[in-house]
Structure 1
Amino acid sequence: MKFLFGNKKDDLLSRLKKQDPVAQKLFYEQNVKRFLNVSKSYVSDLYQAEDCLIKAFCKIFKHIESFRGEANLESWARRIVVNECLNFIKSRKTVFYLDEINHSFHEEIDEPFDFDFNAQELLDQLPDAYKMVFNLYVLEEYSHQEIADTLQISIAMSKTQLFRAKEKLRKIYFQQQKMMKNEHV
């Protein structure tokens, strides 16, 4: 199908704006796996993640005319996928943010955190509030102000949730490493 558009993104975009089903199929096929991974990083249940993704693609195709080219098309579409997942989470369950805030957490947290196995497996073990803030900050590169605005929480709460997410990920990681070492002994 790539030969139809000659690899020109502008041509693909113009065809998408004309609601060309062939262009829509091509865009879908080029992005579905990556966007499903994004969706699964917010919504753990595969079927619900797929539902969010389908709704996101419908919104992408419906609102493609509003794309102004300020970012690349994939980044714009990814943000729609993330927003669809956040809307799903907000509508389906209550996310509790711990309002106990330790003021020492308010500093910018930029500590490196490396792990060498399935990151999604680790993220799935986080409480929803931690997971959303972690994903938005680390994966989507939102600022704490953008996270606060998106989730309707304070900047301090965003920073606290990120700190707690990182701490919980470290604990889970080291517990799993310890268990793996004990199994090999």
Structure 2
Amino acid sequence: MERELLLECQRNDRNAQRKVYEKMAGKIYSVCKRYLKNDEDIEEVLADTFYKIFTKISQLQNPDIFENWAKKIAVNECLQKLRSQKMLHISLEENHMVSSETVENISFEKDILGLLRFLPEGCRAIFNLFAIEGYPHKEIATMLSISEGTSKSQLNFARKKLQELLISQHI
């Protein structure tokens, strides 16, 4: 992101904010879609994320890390949304069976990110945080108020479930 554009955003320049939104909306939307299933929730979190970006942009010390900073805000907003809906309940006992019929309906989504939506909310969040965002288990445990062991168990559960889905689709 251009330094001057970010400085203009810090001065609450609406045109600069619009340009930043246009450049980043797709990327932030993709982050939100990895965590949330409901389009209305995604749109709400997208709006909340940009609100927070533009109200906190003066705290950004290094404009070179703007994109990562913005994505981190989006992740935190998604987790907050899941917590508020009590969808972040983590349990290995949950039986989340996915029928082959359901999976066949997503034949156009033959990638892991497309299959993530079939994971339970809690383990999908942990998979995203660990495998995609790169957070260590200790930090995930702190973020989600769970133990490191639970984080590791849920990651393994997510990997096994994704592997089953991939095998069933011959991907």
TM-score strictly above 0.5: yes
Of 155, 163, 167, the match for 1:170: 163
CA offset at residue 96 of structure 1?
A: 2.5
Q: 1:42 to 1:68 in 2, by over 3 A?
A: same
Unaligned stretches of 5+ residues in structure 1 = 1-7, 101-115, 181-185
Residue in 2 aligned with 1:14? Answer: 7
Q: Over aligned residue pairs, what C-alpha RMSD do you find?
A: 1.9
Inter-partner Cα distance in structure 2 for 1:130 and 1:71: 31
Letter in 1 for 2:125: M
Inter-partner Cα distance in structure 2 for 1:168 and 1:22: 45
- Scaled by the length of structure 2, the TM-score of the pair is 0.85
Q: Secondary structure of 1:117's partner?
A: coil
- Scaled by the length of structure 1, the TM-score of the pair is 0.79
Letter in 1 for 2:37: S
Inter-partner Cα distance in structure 2 for 1:169 and 1:94: 19
Residue in 2 aligned with 1:127? Answer: 120
Percent identity for Structure 1 against Structure 2: 34
Matched, 1:35 2:28: yes
Inter-partner Cα distance in structure 2 for 1:70 and 1:154: 34
CA offset at residue 10 of structure 1?
A: 1.4
Between the two proteins, the alignment pairs up a number of residues equal to 156
Preserved contact between residue 3 and residue 63 of structure 2 (Cα < 8 Å): no
Q: Secondary structure of 1:27's partner?
A: helix
Q: Could you say which structure has the greater relative contact order, defined with CA pairs below 8 angstroms and 6 or more residues apart? A: 2
Report which of the two structures shows the higher radius of gyration computed on alpha carbons. Answer: 1
Q: Which runs of 4+ in 1 moved over 6 A?
A: none
